[in-house]
Structure 1
């Protein structure tokens, strides 16, 4: 089942301006809290009304501001998993799932869903008697009982601890893989979005530059928002000179890019990209002093102040012989520098 979204809505502090189109694949909206991701899902589901625009689900127009079309939530064929799960507190597990089945009139699916989600011994309990992970499984079963055309997941792991989150994510992955329609995942966690979805759209201040293949997005971010959200530790302002070279004031270095990109405003570099060994060709040299070493379980993040630079360089390494205040020279292959236009 396909989905087409082109909507606008005034929000507190910014304007939601969302364009989105997908067809039978899992996609993610990745962005910081308050960027408009959850509001987009609520508008698709019919819980909120956009100020302007159009929403089409599987060829059916469910919202059109010009034609005055605004179908109620129960007629849209969407399934939205809220962050707080929104279970009916006075109903048992079975009764909650039955509520979803009433929409589809497929009551025979209830037992199958209870078994699928391992709820056989919990079906007579109330939501208050369940753990967070169990509540989520009930909420997801209730949604699937309604046989939605579009499955929408709003930060589904945010209320779970790290160990339980991993367990639930594995089950969620199976649900997404078997779901016949489009799944939209809202998340601020890039690893979850990458593992669960095929395409990702970065959302910032209510806007997105469209869906991108996840590997292409992570390997080649195009904007500062994309670079930050995919985990680039070094995102720096840059100046494009008249001769085509790029100057990075924070590191006080210049280089000639391998590809011509107009209107470069910033660059991004992964902390893994630097090396102590000189590459065979096409590299940038940064001299500096180690100001801090932050050790992790498998590696360390080293903060370096470049010579005559005004900023900090972040380098991730497994080298255990480094010392604070040590002078250092790092090499950076030019193909590891991403040119950003916004």
Structure 2
């Protein structure tokens, strides 16, 4: 069981070029909006035709531009869960689930009833989509997709329009579904939490090009590219230059860092995840040390989000801070975890530190001086 995709598709602002192979697991495609994630799924499903390339599913050629092969969506046996679920509004739940099943009436009824039971849709058989909640609609869409017995499952931002409680419930359902499914699946998402939870391997896509492709946990632990680090949740990124085999200077923070692994020649940035920073009460030297002032503290449900303005380690000159604009940025991006990458794009050297509720000392308050440090193995070396 395998899915092979090697295609090119011209889009408005760039050319989508993807080349990958997936074997009996859930592959995630992680990227920002408009990077070509959904278009990749549409090409696999046969909804959109690439300019050139090759798509093969379990040994069956679905598309080959050289040999003029282009199977219709109906011939591809692809299960596609759209963002809006794409249920037929004039069909009941029962009819929607059975729409793609090719079997005798008896067998078809048996499959539909099994799906209704598996997806907890009892009592809703005669309801139309307009009468269903968002979660119920998604369960119907999942039931319809599985009833068709597809060779590959395609998920296009399956939880993007759900509230947190409903999302958690349906994520458990989907996790169970994928554990029992013996085939290929591809999930498109911009959520690092979803791709980490569901996908054994990931593709990091940016403007139609694959930045990184590999095992999900390894890429999260050690991303190679700046954009990959950002997409996987690294908020603290600085321009950097290599000083020696294991020492690098963070230009935006004015600090020297000793790292565990050998520093590649192509390094352009370093990254530090917010949870990797630790308070240092008795600094012995300036390596791996970020001296600064606590600028803002905000409470999240299970931790504290602390913004620290960094002082230049080399000249101890404190940078000016734009209180109004910085406070506005904090309120809009830090508390809600939206557009948080903007924090690393400002002129003022500011880092985000995440700390547990029990770990924030009463002596930590706004305008308090602080030293932060990071272990050599927790410094990300980025290109």
TM-score (norm 1): 0.94
Q: 2:372 aligns with which of 301, 317, 330?
A: 330
Match of 1:266 in 2: 269
Q: Identify if the C-alpha distance between structure 1 residues 336 and 82 changes in structure 2 by more than 3 Å, giving closer, same or farther.
A: same
Work out the CA distance in 2 between the residues paired with 1:259 and 1:181. 37
Q: Verify the 8 A CA contact 1:5 1:18 in the aligned structure 2.
A: yes
Query: Does residue 302 in structure 1 map to residue 340 in structure 2?
Result: no
Structure 1 Cα separation of the partners of residues 3 and 238 of structure 2:
36
Structure 2 residue aligned with 1:49: 49
Contact 1:97 1:139 in 2 (8 A): yes
SS in 1 for 2:87: coil
For 1:168, the equivalent position in structure 2 comes to 170
Shift of 1:78: 0.8
- Corresponding residue for residue 221 of structure 2: 219
Compute the RMSD of aligned alpha carbons.
2.1
- From the superposition, tell whether residues 103 and 263 of structure 1 become closer, same or farther in structure 2 (CA, over 3 Å): farther
Return 187-196 or 276-285, whichever deviates more: 276-285
Distance, in Å, in 2 between the alignment partners of 1:276 and 1:269 is 14
Whole-Å Cα distance in 1 between the matches of residues 125 and 131 of structure 2? 11
Secondary structure of 2:84's match?
coil
Tell me: CA distance 1:283–1:332, structure 2 relative to 1, closer, same or farther (3 Å). Answer: farther
Where does residue 85 of structure 1 map in the other structure? 85
Distance in 1, matches of 2:135 and 2:305, equals: 34
Alignment partner of 1:315 is 2:318:
no
- Aligned residue for 2:297? 293
Moved more, 125-134 or 243-252: 243-252
Aligned length: 341
State the alpha-carbon separation in 1 of the partners of residues 50 and 103 from structure 2: 24
Structure 1 spans left out of the alignment, 5+ residues: none
Question: Which of 205-214 and 285-294 deviates more?
Answer: 205-214
SS in 2 for 1:272: helix
Measured in 2, the distance between the counterparts of 1:205 and 1:74 equals: 30
Q: Which secondary structure state, in structure 2, belongs to the residue aligned with residue 89 of structure 1?
A: coil
TM-superposed deviation, 1:244: 6.6
